[in-house]
A and B are shown apart, each in its own frame.
Chain A
């Protein structure tokens, strides 16, 4: 059922927002901010999750959320003190709620007793404070659904709804039924209080509903009805006696009609003949029919006046029903009944000197609808109908945005092709055309930025999943770890964000598992007992940097190198630099976990991080300080779609180097490269030795350039490490649209992706960081 699926999708979207909100609120609560605002926000979030879950019959989620919500409610009321223990219990509860939501979404069941332990603690806390008021299953007039009906489908809206709106069921309600006074004859005495009117209830509506249950006759018992000039619309001038004949009708059916006015009226309901002093009414159809005819006018007044003349009013005595007929008190907290008696906080003074039609529900004329505010009634479930404040927003399928992104990508390519086609002679001849192309280039750029901004999202959505991970890792490893997040509002393209979750999870696991030491070791090393993992995001030029830092022990280089040599990743005769050793943790098949723990082991290591990040055109760099900690930096493109590049030629074919990593370009002779003992070559640039990577050689091509006339593109890899790429020729700068190599072919070492040039040729994008790393392995091999 697509409607249901739509609602569910909306619900799960909302859940993930609410879970993120919970993480944020509790981060502040943990810091000691325990104001009412925070608690209310937390309560509302759980409340909303529960509300939707009930609608879809996710009963396990409802059950847990309900217990948790009760606890939060007590905390809000101050009945339970928000101690650190309670805060931690709540944080654990949030995780369980998240698991329940996830289980509901994926359809994977959780064990039946999942969260039972926490639930028991909620109950214990509640009991400790409020004896026996934990679960509230009191009778609520038969409308409460405590055990949520699993089969409940929220969209079983039959289009021939119970009745078309605005069409009161009056006509057929009063149809005469064959009169057989038998069992099922009820007598009701009903006296409204003033409060009943104040809450916009109306006896007429109650009678209408009663009439729908059977054959009804009503008699008004007049008190002192004042002359019209003194008539107060909300005053109580009369009570009613009703006889209702309906075989099989139970008392609770009748009580349900009066459910909303319970406490706002005196009511006696009894089998015929049981109410003392009840007028012996033979149901008379004419009377109700008369009422019916008047329904749309001012029935109360007209029937009231008609009756006044015809009937001798019975002296109005206060009705004190015998105990047997006293309204059953609900299982409500003592004193709640008194609340109804309080005069509502409404001033009738304004009405006192105005003569108004006495019908309490006189309808004001419907004002013409302001077009801007009229909600569309096309059943669009996302319609936020008449939002009056805040930023206007619409929800668009990502597919639609992706289509636009792709079109814009193609436009960029076409535009760069046109620019390429303009050689000098054409430029000189068609100045107007050149200017037009320049404007087109600008507009295209602007269009592209705008489209990318649409897909950009704060990294918060990924970051918010990490606190829980850290909590779980800390408890599994018996370490004390706190997570700090910085810059979570930094925006990245949604497609990049989706790819971030796994690598981040691995990196944080790595920090918790290998970086942060046990509390004992930390204390021994003179560090605070609690380790810190800092997760930050910032924008740096055309890139986003995501940094995972810890203040742990740093990388154990000796062990890493030993393992790398054992696994043949590094040749025995090579002594890599510290920095190169650190990078080894990303080498394929490298995992330093001595025993495969279920935390970061599982047979996969950090090489997964590297390949995931490379897949989205990013790079990873690690830096470690022994005994002080470790920093891993992810450098990600702001968007996956477009890249500013330098177009170069290698072995006769076009290659592109991302402009963001280029420091400078120069011409030089191969003779100026110097050999180092490891077999690599270096180039001296302004007193600094830079590793040389000959792209032609690296990609097994034949250079078509005179060796004395080579070009070098000096690039900066992670960690300010420079690398000199040797190319045959430099063609120029341009923008390209990145096409994934993995999706269209397969992953290739040293290549970050491909692109289609303006002339239709395919050029491969050089992966500078990857080349440095693989270069090291190659020398080792």
Chain B
């Protein structure tokens, strides 16, 4: 069964690179450009893992994660935070909101795939 990944990022460059990396690794990729779009997509689609950026317009990554968890529908959905944030602070916020793990930008394709496997059954 193909794993489905939802990627949420406001940078076209990053979205394009994620799309390329993930689809080459055999994942099915859904994409959204901000947290609100991501939530809308989660209402309509079932995914196995979410990768989200923190800094986004409309609804940022932290709010997005909180909202996903608050629905009660996605308690066991792994959410990876994609971020260049090297400050522990942001990462803590992401975790406090319910983030499962993180990926540091710029991501190495191998690393990205292995981190996804680390959190997905």
Chain A residues engaging chain B, CB cutoff 8 angstroms:
3, 6-7, 10-11, 13-14, 40-41, 43-44, 47-48, 50-52, 54-57, 66, 73, 136-138, 140, 143-146, 148, 152, 154-159, 161-166, 168-169, 197-202, 204-205, 209, 234, 259-260, 263-264, 295-296, 330-333, 336, 339-340, 342, 344-347, 350-351, 360-367, 369-370, 373-375, 377, 379, 381-389
Contacts and interface: CB of A to CB of B under 8 A. Distances in A.
Interface string B1-26: 11110000011111111011101111
Nearest to A54: B106
B91 to A, nearest CB: 8
Contacts of B21: 154-155, 157
A381 B20 contact: yes
Task: Classify the secondary structure of B's interface with A.
Answer: mixed
A143 B84 CA distance: 11
A148 B104 CA distance: 11
B51 interface: no
A385 B29 contact: yes
A718 to B, nearest CB: 42
A330 B88 CA distance: 9
A168 B40 CA distance: 29
B119 A14 contact: no
A303 to B, nearest CB: 15
Interface residues of B, number: 78
A51 B109 contact: no
B88 A138 contact: yes
B17 A336 contact: no
Contacts of B23: 377, 379
B72 A350 contact: yes
B37 to A, nearest CB: 5
A13 to B, nearest CB: 8
B57 A146 contact: no
Nearest to A299: B121
Interface in B101-121: 101-102, 104-111, 113-114, 116-121
Interface string B52-72: 000111000000001001101
A54 B69 contact: no
30 contacts: A10-B13, A48-B14, A51-B106, A136-B86, A137-B86, A140-B88, A143-B104, A155-B109, A157-B24, A158-B109, A162-B110, A166-B2, A204-B121, A260-B101, A332-B92, A339-B92, A340-B92, A344-B98, A345-B66, A345-B98, A346-B98, A365-B46, A373-B41, A383-B19, A383-B31, A384-B15, A385-B30, A385-B31, A386-B45, A387-B33
Given A155-B17, A344-B96, A163 B117 contact: yes
Given A51-B84, A200-B75, A386-B31, 7 more contacts: A152-B106, A165-B3, A165-B26, A296-B121, A336-B89, A339-B95, A375-B29
B104 to A, nearest CB: 5
Contacts of B29: 375, 377, 385
Interface string B73-90: 011111100001011110
A162 B117 CA distance: 10
A43 B102 contact: no
A673 B17 CA distance: 71
A339 B79 CA distance: 18
B86 A140 contact: yes
A338 B34 CA distance: 29
B102 to A, nearest CB: 7
Nearest to B84: A51
Contact of B88 (A50, A66, A331, A379): A331
A344 B110 CA distance: 31
A207 to B, nearest CB: 12
A351 to B, nearest CB: 8
- Shortest Cβ-Cβ A-B pairs, 10 listed: A260-B101, A161-B25, A385-B31, A54-B106, A55-B106, A332-B88, A52-B13, A11-B13, A165-B26, A381-B16
A144 B90 CA distance: 14
Tell me which of B14, B21, B33, B69 has the highest count of chain A C-beta atoms within 10 A of its own C-beta. B14
A375 B27 CA distance: 12
B55 A47 contact: yes
Contacts of A363: 48, 121
B109 A148 contact: no
Contact of B76 (A52, A360, A385): A360
A57 B89 CA distance: 25
A138 B86 CA distance: 8
A584 B41 CA distance: 62
A200 B119 contact: yes
A379 to B, nearest CB: 6
A162 B114 contact: yes
